[in-house]
Amino acid sequence: MLEWIARRIPAMGPGYKWQMAAAIGLGHNGKIIAGMAVHDWLPHYKSCQLTFASETPIWATRPSIRAMLAYPFEQLGVQRIMTIIAESNTRAIRVNEHLGFQLEGRCRLGCGTEDALIFGLLKSETPAWMGFT
Give φ, ψ of 123 to 5 degrees.
-55, -40
Residue 76: name the closest of 24, 6, 3, 129 by CA: 24
Q: How far apart are CA 34 and CA 21, in angstroms?
A: 16
9, 85, 101, 112 from 15: Cα distances, Å = 12, 20, 29, 18
The domain locations on the chain are: 2-130
- pTM for the whole thing? 0.90
Q: 112 with 118: CB under 8 angstroms?
A: no
Render pLDDT for 21-60 as a digit per residue (tens, 0 to 9).
Answer: 999 999 999 999 999 999 999 999 999 999 999 998 889 8
The CATH number of domain 2-130, selected from 3.40.50.150, 3.40.630.30, 3.40.462.10, 3.80.10.10 = 3.40.630.30
